[in-house]
Structures are given as structure tokens and as C-alpha cells.
Structure 1
């Protein structure tokens, strides 16, 4: 209990909010996944990125460092994922994305906030920005076999990131009215993300338990391996190090399952990976947080 008790304020809010989504489905209440997805990606997440980064105590140099660390983490994770797929004879186009792209938004951002406060959330948002852009550009290109430019240019998150970067690098402050508006809109994102996570997980079917557990463990090992490699190569320290490791340890994102359905890339196996890695992460992430000194 001495290990778990101090971590309860970090882990329990995530579990309780996700549980709302599970119970929502159990009580057969309507939930429009597409509407929630759009309102988060088009309004909530962009407002959260601009609003948080514009008021966070984060220097231009630190933001550059975070973006570089995010790219490095993804690069190492991708390299480890390719090696794992080749060694285990897994189809690259089926399993590369779910091995690389963790739940940096729905689970990662709340954990960053509850574990490390506003500064941790700001750094986590930098990682979320890079990983989201990569997922919906390079990730979709892997699945479809062709480059996707239109999807990148039409994403509000891209423009929110550019706007936030402009504010940080020029040390500009938003008018209080606009800042408060963005805080209100951005504040809905994290609860909605977690509730949607619960709804999504409750609707996924776990088949082939042995394979699913193996793939789930593989995602967590590959992800955390990429995080540690980035930390070692870039000699990351302090808050950036902790947030990179925490984000790298998140389970496979639910979006991987949705994209696997869309492009017919082993959706059942990917669903098993998403569910199993999420369940395992409820044990592995508290251990990691304890290792990172969160008391």
C-alpha cells in the first residue's frame, strides 16, 4: 500500500473518468463517438494546446527541446517496432502503427497533468502535437500505401501548434478574455478523452487472449524502449525526461483500431492489442511513476 497510496491521486482520476464511459455503455445510453471525436479534435484539443502553451512557463528553447525529444522518441520507437515485427514475422503494415503510436492524448495528457501539474501538461502537449501529426500523416501513409497531404493540412491541431509556437517563441500574451475562453474550451478535452476511452474499450472485443497479451506487452516494451533511448541519446533530465518516459509508456491508442477497420489491417488483432496493453498499463504505469519519483 505504501507504493500505491501516494499514486492514487494520479491514477484514480484517470480510472474513474474512463469508468464513466464503461458504465455509460453498460446502461445503454447513446454516445455519438464521431461527434465527440470531432469536437475534441477540432475545438477542444486545439484550444487546450494554444491556451496551455501560451500561459505555461515554457521557454522557446524548452519547447524546441520537447519537440526534438518527441521526434527522437518516435524515431527510436519506430526502429524498435520494425525490428520486433521482422523478428516475430508480424505484418509491418498491420502492426507498425499500434506498436508506435501510444495513447498520448486520451491517457497520456491526463497522467501528465495529474502527475506533474501544468508544466507537465504543457510538455505532454508538445509530445501530443508531434505524435498526432505523425500518426495522421506517416501512420496513414503506412496503412494506405500512399502519402496523405490533404489530411495534414486540414487538421486544426496543426494550426493550433503553429499558433502556440508563435506565441511562445515571440513571448506574446493573449488577451485575458481570449485566454479564459480557450481555458473553458480546452478544459472539456481531457474529461471527454477519458470518457471516450472508456466507451471505446467497452465496445472492443478481446479475441485470442494469448496473442493479445503478447502484442499488448510488446507495445509497452517497444514504447518505453523508445522513450529510454531518447532520454539516453539526448541526455534528457528533470521534467522533460519524466514526461517523455510517461508518454512513451502509454498503451496502444484506440485510434489504431479505428484506422485498422478503415484500411482493413487486422482490426481484431489490433483491438486485442489496444485492450490488453491498456489493462496491463494500469499496473505498469504506477510502477513507472514510482520509479520517476512521483510520491
Structure 2
């Protein structure tokens, strides 16, 4: 009994800071109705790239140690799409509306802080690696799925991608970044995680729940498909125990908010995608603690 109580307390201590900041953003959004576009732009152009660079360029980062984890994250993303496609057909939903949110999860807003709180600061490079895999596939494959004629070259103009290339180059070359400069970049990157969560809370005030039934189904299918392939990877791939646990949590994450942004950009039923994303993130209140209980 004491062991179960201790585990429950540990899980609450992990998820509480995340959802507390999201709730604070939701409350502020309801009261002040802020325009978060500039803050979000700053986050994606400056703060998140700084976080990615500092994680990949750190002295402790070794690319060889994360190759298998990166492969596992790619399998989870692609495999989720394969399983979600027939589900979308059964529901009578356009696959372009249903499948991408099932593939591309909230590995940024929720995945990064969750990894640090659950597994410690040393887990950040692994969480960043999974985020980069998902983000790269989203901007390339995800864009192509919504619009086969889209220019995929735009992927390489994204600040996050440029920061990841620079960070990997520093790591592989063995060049040491001047310590004061590295510290400044890391401090800048530290802004990103709470701002990601706060922005998610503000975004929830604009949630579209016009298609709640589809949102609930998607809120179950997204983590279910992710967990199936995460468990398969844990069984088949030579993952370390820590990376296996992180991949399981990665598989349980809800749909990314970026799915709504893309659906709006390409005119792919944005209201239905908004319902999928927002209901899925609310349902993660129950799903994520269960995934943590599994791995912890």
C-alpha cells in the first residue's frame, strides 16, 4: 500500500507542474484574452532553437547514444499513421483530417517538460531528439500529406532545424562552445518550456469543441497507436532502460497543436482538427499519468 501511495505521489509531482502552468495560461487567457502570436513567434524563432542547440551541443551529448532512440521515435510516428488510417475510414472521416494528428504528437509543449520532470535534467537531450524526429517528419511528410505540391524546402528555413543542424555539427566535430556563450544560450532556451505550456493553456480558451465525439475517439486512438508501436520498439530495438521508458511516454502524448496550424494553413477542416487537438490534450490528464505509472 505504501509503495502504491508513494508511486501515486511521484506521478502527481511530475504532472502537477505541467498542468498547473497550462491552467495558469488558460485562466490568464480567459481573463485578459491576450494576443499570443508575438510570444509564440519568439518562442519558435528564438527560445526553442536555443533549447535545442544547448541540448545537442552540450559536452555530454553523444549522437551515437541516441541513434536507436531516434529510430524508435520515427517508427512510433509512422506506425501510428498506419494504424490510424483504417480507424479514420471506419469513422467516415477524411484521412487528411484524422491521420496527421494521430501521428504528430505534443512532443514539444508537453513532451519536453514531462521528460525533465519524470526523468531529470539529463533526459533533455533524449527528449529533444524525439522532438526533432517528430518535428522534422511533421514539416516534411506531414506537409506533403496535406498538400503534395507544398515546397518542402521551407523545412530547412525553420530556426529549430537550423539550430539542430548547428548543435549536431558542434557535437560531432568535438568543438567546445565558449562556456559563457553556451550558458547564455542555455538560459535563453530555459524560457521556452514554461512559455510552451502557458501558450497551450491560452490556446485552450479558443478551443473548438463542436465535434466532441470525434475528439474523444481521437483522444483515445492517438495514445493507443503510439503506445502499441512504442512497446514494439522496446521489444525489438536495443534501447537502454531509460530510453525505453521515455519512448513509452512519447507514445502516450496527445496530438500537437501544430496540427491545427497546418490544417488551417492548408484548409483541411481546421474546426474538426481543432476539436481533435484540444479534446486530446484535455484527455491527456488521464492518459499521461497512466503511461508514467507503467514506466515508473
1:26 to 30, 40, 61: 30
Matches within 5 A, 1:195-234: 195-234=198-237
The answer to whether structure 1 residue 139 and structure 2 residue 142 are counterparts is yes
Q: Which residue is equivalent to 1:149?
A: 152
- Structure 1: runs of 5 or more not aligned: none
> Structure 1 length as normaliser, TM-score?
0.93
| Change in 2 beyond 3 A, CA 1:56/1:244 | farther
User: 2-side partners of 1:205 and 1:252: how far apart?
Assistant: 15
Q: Is the 8 A contact 2:55 2:61 kept in 1?
A: no
| Structure-2 residue corresponding to 1:121 | 124
CA distance in 1, matches of 2:268, 2:247: 29
Q: Contact 1:216–1:272 at 8 Å: present in 2 too?
A: no
The answer to whether the 8 A contact 1:75-1:226 is kept is no
* Cα distance in 2, alignment partners of residues 265 and 233 from structure 1: 36
1:288 corresponds to which residue? Answer: 291
Matches within 5 A, 1:1-295: 2=5, 3-32=7-36, 34-55=37-58, 57-293=60-296
Normalised by the length of structure 2, the TM-score is 0.92
Q: CA deviation at 1:81?
A: 2.1
Confirm or deny: 8 A CA contact 1:253 1:274 kept in the other structure: yes
Kept in 2, the 8 Å contact 1:201–1:275? The answer is yes
**Whole-Å Cα distance in 2 between the matches of residues 19 and 142 of structure 1?**
33
CA offsets, 1:205-228, max 9 Å, x none? 212332321121111212222322
Alignment deviations for residues 267-293 of structure 1 (CA, whole Å, 9 cap, x no partner):
222122112211221111111111111
Q: Alignment length, in residue pairs?
A: 292
Q: CA deviation at 1:88?
A: 3.6
Q: CA deviation at 1:89?
A: 3.6
After TM superposition, the runs of 4+ consecutive aligned structure 1 residues lying more than 3 A away are 86-89
**The residue matched to 1:105 in structure 2 has which SS?**
coil
* 5+ residue gaps, structure 2: none
Pairwise CA RMSD of aligned residues?
Answer: 1.8
